[in-house]
Structure 1
Amino acid sequence: MATKSYKYQAQELVRKYVLADPVVPYTSVLGGIFMCKMAYDLTRLISPFYYKGYASLTKIQRIEWNNRGMSSTHAIFITIMSVYLVFFSDLFSDHLEGLVTFRRSNLSTVTLGVSVGYFITDLAMIFWLYPSLGGKEYVLHHLLSVSALAYAMLSGEGQLYTYMVLISETTTPGINVRWFLDTAGMKRSSAYLVNGIMMFFAWLVARICLFIYLFHHIYLHYDQIKQMHTFGYLLTFLVPSALFVMNMMWFAKILRGLRKTLSKRQ
């Protein structure tokens, strides 16, 4: 009986406070920051067991190693949630009435909050160790991401397009694995080559083709988008466009790197 009583009290606490509409964004952001802390610490704890050379890395290399474990955790989480919300849930389905640009739910808001928490944490680390964890392009990418995510989370506008952009995070684990292999001295291994090929196709699908589909969707639903507030309207066009340009620049680097790797193996 005591166990059931505590379980009921916990459920009521979650329902009344944690999932109460005014509190959802802030609790989810804190949850995202907490998730980042756990992922960072867990990466730091388990890495020495799987890579014996971890202890011999420099301090900044160990920090980046743990940071990439954190970013991979966020990428896996946000990719799964984004794919579900965009393609499998009914939230943004054409079968429902109402403007698709104004649809939201507690689940979609919580998920955005977790992602905001991650980008805030990662941006803080970038500033703290600048430019070791990333240069100006990373700062610009994260600032654009935080602005768009926070606005969609707090206003409920444009969450569909926000999640379409977030699906591009599916490429992040591949990028991190490539860095891990390079740092571990496995740049000439078959794993490094396979990772490069998979990263090329993942980037092409998630950061090029998907963005083209996003722009097409924006074109088809422009009559709904123009009903958004001015800031949301501008973000809908500015953020995907800026990220698409950056994606094309990074894609060119990936292509050159893959060609260089393949030429060395011939």
Structure 2
Amino acid sequence: MGKTLNDFILDVVPHPVVPPEKLLTGSSQKWGWVVMDPFSQLIFTISVTSFLTFQWLFHKVSPWMSTRISPGFLSLSDKQKVEWNSRTVSTFHALLVGIFCLHILLFDDAVNEDPVWGDPTLVKTNVAITTGYLISDLLLIFYYWKAIGDKFFVVHHLAALYAYYYVLGQGMLPYFANFRLLAEFSTPCVNQRWFFEVLGYPKSSRPNMANGVAMAVVFFMVRIAVMPVYYSRMYAVYGTEAFYLVPWGGRVAWICSSICLDIMNIMWMHKIARGCYRVLRSARKSKAGAPQENGKTD
């Protein structure tokens, strides 16, 4: 049988399997110095590389590609260009992490069999990539606050980084941390809607309508339809020995954040569904001969 991606990483940087009851943070103390184990060093390196890569994509790659792919990019204001580049990087991150997440859900038996303390090797790698992205995005949000500043995104990013501390530092809850990253699959469609809007595409145009329907369907599939699966796994481990090995901070970061995020997901799904319905209804009226401009009837 061929080696899996998990086996490859283990071959490159061997690391000991740590019993969950010890709750090690990926470092040890030797002669008064705190020394990171080889795998923690790899995860740290991945996070730093991710941060630098997303900064490079924002400042160099996105502007260069956008001017060649979309001529309308040059006519945007400076603030719009900042948000354009930010959303381009966001789309790339979402696709990269989402595909990695799906691979783990389908093929990582260790995590699927033990959702609380299963071998978190691949999940840590994926979360390290996301951690680098979140820190990069936070830096850009603060630096370009007038263009893309948003208090909600600051709170969201900080809450996510707090939760990821338990995954990267203590290797706990790998299944649930990875499952949450499925939501990234809805990001490209959300960003594409903004691209169409800023480029002046009518809401009733075929590309805009197709993206709107895709956004509603994908958002429902990766954020709403998966809720029963997620919470059934949570209920299955609640009260078990593995559950009580998770410290209080980890439980709060896990349970409370999950509930809050899903309440917001339901609210967003309601808005997306209503918007999709209005656009489709406007398109039908337009075909019937009703006067229309930019997807809205007079």
> What TM bracket, shorter-length normalisation?
0.7 to 0.9
Instruction: Name the structure where helix makes up a greater proportion of residues.
Output: 1
Partner of 2:7: none
Is 1:209 aligned to 2:236, yes or no? no
In structure 2, relative to structure 1, the CA distance for the partners of 1:163 and 1:236 (3 Å cut) is same
Identity between Structure 1 and Structure 2 (%): 25
CA shift, 1:173, in A, is: 0.6
Is 1:147 aligned to 2:162, yes or no? yes
Deviations 1:200-225, CA, capped at 9 Å, x for gaps: 01111111122332111100111132
- Matches of residues 1-266 of structure 1 in structure 2 within 5 Å? 15=13, 20-40=38-58, 41-94=60-113, 99-130=114-145, 132-133=147-148, 135-188=150-203, 189-222=205-238, 223=240, 224-265=242-283, 266=285
In structure 2, relative to structure 1, the CA distance for the partners of 1:130 and 1:221 (3 Å cut) is same
* Higher deviation after alignment, 185-194 or 31-40: 31-40
Contact 1:79-1:167 at 8 Å conserved across structures? yes
Q: Distance in 2 between matches of 1:121 and 1:47?
A: 20
TM-score if structure 2 supplies the norm length? 0.78
Contact 1:171-1:203 at 8 Å conserved across structures? yes
CA shift, 1:256, in A, is: 2.2
Superposition RMSD in Å = 2.2
CA shift, 1:121, in A, is: 1.1
Q: Distance in 2 between matches of 1:104 and 1:121?
A: 27
Contact 1:24-1:109 at 8 Å conserved across structures? no
Partner of 1:5: none
Contact 1:200-1:255 at 8 Å conserved across structures? yes
CA shift, 1:105, in A, is: 3.9
Contact 2:185-2:222 at 8 Å conserved across structures? yes
Amino acid of the residue matched to residue 66 of structure 2?
S
Instruction: Name the structure where strand makes up a greater proportion of residues.
Output: 2
Amino acid of the residue matched to residue 195 of structure 1?
N
Contact 1:152-1:162 at 8 Å conserved across structures? yes
CA shift, 1:190, in A, is: 0.4
Amino acid of the residue matched to residue 38 of structure 1?
W
Contact 1:197-1:258 at 8 Å conserved across structures? yes
CA shift, 1:51, in A, is: 1.1
Q: Distance in 1 between matches of 2:164 and 2:272?
A: 27
Structure 2, unmatched stretches of 5+, are 1-11, 16-35, 286-298
Amino acid of the residue matched to residue 59 of structure 1?
D
Q: Distance in 2 between matches of 1:123 and 1:49?
A: 28
CA shift, 1:243, in A, is: 0.9
Q: Distance in 2 between matches of 1:162 and 1:134?
A: 26
Q: Distance in 1 between matches of 2:174 and 2:210?
A: 34
Amino acid of the residue matched to residue 84 of structure 1?
H
Deviations 1:50-92, CA, capped at 9 Å, x for gaps: 1111111011111111111111111011111111112222222
In structure 2, relative to structure 1, the CA distance for the partners of 1:187 and 1:213 (3 Å cut) is farther
In structure 2, relative to structure 1, the CA distance for the partners of 1:128 and 1:253 (3 Å cut) is farther
Q: Distance in 1 between matches of 2:164 and 2:40?
A: 17
Contact 1:193-1:261 at 8 Å conserved across structures? yes
Question: What secondary structure, in the 3-state scheme, does the structure 2 residue paired with 1:102 have?
Answer: coil
Q: Distance in 2 between matches of 1:79 and 1:166?
A: 6
Contact 2:216-2:273 at 8 Å conserved across structures? yes
Amino acid of the residue matched to residue 254 of structure 2?
T
Question: What secondary structure, in the 3-state scheme, does the structure 2 residue paired with 1:92 have?
Answer: helix
Please identify the structure whose Cα radius of gyration is greater: 2
Contact 2:111-2:120 at 8 Å conserved across structures? no
In structure 2, relative to structure 1, the CA distance for the partners of 1:42 and 1:165 (3 Å cut) is same
How many pairs were matched up? 250
